[in-house]
Amino acid sequence: MAGEPAAAGDITGAASTSTVEGALAVLPGPRAEQPGLEHEWQRAVAAIVRAPVIDLICHINPDGDALGSALAAGLALRSLGHQVRVSFGDDPQVIPQSLSFLPGQELLVPAAEVPDVPELVVCFDVAAESRLGLLHDKAFAAPVLVVIDHHASNPGFGTHRLIDPAAPATAVLVDELLRRLGVPLDQQLATCLYTGVATDTGSFRYAATTPATHELAGRLLATGIRHDEISRQLWDTSSFGYLKVLAAALDRARYEPEQAGGRGLVWTWVPYQDLVLYSVTVEELEGLIDVVRRAAEAEVALVLKQDPDGTLRGSSRSRGAVDVAAACAELGGGGHVYAAGFAVREDVAAAVDRFRAALDRTS
Ligand SMILES: [Mn+2]
């Protein structure tokens, strides 16, 4: 279920503003909306500016918001004279092909190169301690652990907590960090931040997108970045092999109108042999659920992806009338009402049977 809580936060993190004036009143960014958050910002920035060496880490299996945020902060702090390392707790570290254009990747180091007791760690988009992966113990060994995140589910860890569930992306909070550090936006920073915001807002489509989000996008575009090229890399580019895996998965899809309390379930699965046959990585399948969930007839969508060891990893989505987090919890997973996941060691028929039964109890 790696990635599911982040995806859920991306979809459900909306902060409604009752009027356009109300939204504009809080421009340019989400700050001081929670009591104490302004104080946390001041403490965190004071600690960061004093630290000669800073380790910037994002969550395992990084997406555009996680990696874009960490790299933008790394580039900015390097420009201020800090020694910076950017890392994440996977071994090996895999950067999705869709993010290969991100600037600042020369700052990346393997998790093993992060010291056992770092001086100061900032972690980005890490909704839960488990998402630190191999860097968990090192992050908690640091005397200062700054947590910059936008997931409502974040339990609140670290010594400095810049957690704003109203922010549609962690990259929005990094923009605020740069403002407080006095680092002006340039094209490299803007490319990283635009990637983060575009990723987590589904290209500015999700409900968490506000006037402030578009205001930030405007400032990013004003640096001259090629947002059309970024968008093509993020959304409109895949290998031919992925198209073949997608075609097979759609051909295998089943629509079951009686499931989910009569609201309908659409589901499919991807056998590991398809990935081998078409030379496709499992990371390339992240967007498959977004194709399957388009089926208007179904309230709930489910995609099962088979790992080499036979583990099935499920990603599910709901239109809102069914709590898929509750259903996935019955299979040992979790997430949010609209987006959740699980991992099981059983065959496809058994896994889908259990998911159907769990939906029946939660619909
Ligand atoms: Mn995010």
Q: Are residues 262 and 223 in the same domain?
A: no
Distance CA 345, CA 35 (A): 44
Q: Are residues 292 and 324 in the same domain?
A: yes
CA of 244 relative to ligand 1 center, distance in Å: 29
Which pLDDT score, from 0 to 100, does residue 286 have?
A: 87
CA of 162 relative to ligand 1 center, distance in Å: 13
Q: Which domain holds residue 314?
A: 240-362
Question: Are residues 249 and 270 in contact, defined by beta-carbon separation less than 8 angstroms?
Answer: yes
Q: Are residues 141 and 259 in the same domain?
A: no
Which pLDDT score, from 0 to 100, does residue 153 have?
A: 81
CA of 85 relative to ligand 1 center, distance in Å: 20
Q: Which residues of the chain have pLDDT under 50?
A: 1-32
Q: Are residues 214 and 130 in the same domain?
A: yes
| DSSP-assigned letters across all residues of 274-313 | HHHHTT--GGGGTTHHHHHTT-TT-SEEEEEEE-TTS-EE
Distance CA 56, CA 62 (A): 13
Domain boundary among 235, 253, 283: 235
pLDDT by residue (tens digit) across 226-281?
999 999 999 999 999 999 999 999 999 999 999 999 999 999 999 999 999 999 99
Q: Are residues 257 and 209 in the same domain?
A: no
pLDDT by residue (tens digit) across 103-125?
999 999 999 999 999 999 999 99
Q: Are residues 223 and 282 in the same domain?
A: no
Which pLDDT score, from 0 to 100, does residue 260 have?
A: 97
CA of 103 relative to ligand 1 center, distance in Å: 18
Which residues are near ligand 1, the ion (C-beta closer than 5 Å)?
A: 65, 125, 170, 200
Q: Are residues 50 and 91 in the same domain?
A: yes
Which pLDDT score, from 0 to 100, does residue 33 have?
A: 58
How many domains is the chain built from? 2
Does the predicted model carry a pTM greater than 0.85? Answer: no
CA of 171 relative to ligand 1 center, distance in Å: 8
Exposure of 117 by Cβ count < 10 A (0-12 exposed, 13-18 middle, 19+ buried)? exposed
Q: Are residues 226 and 276 in the same domain?
A: no
CATH of the domain at 343: 3.10.310.30
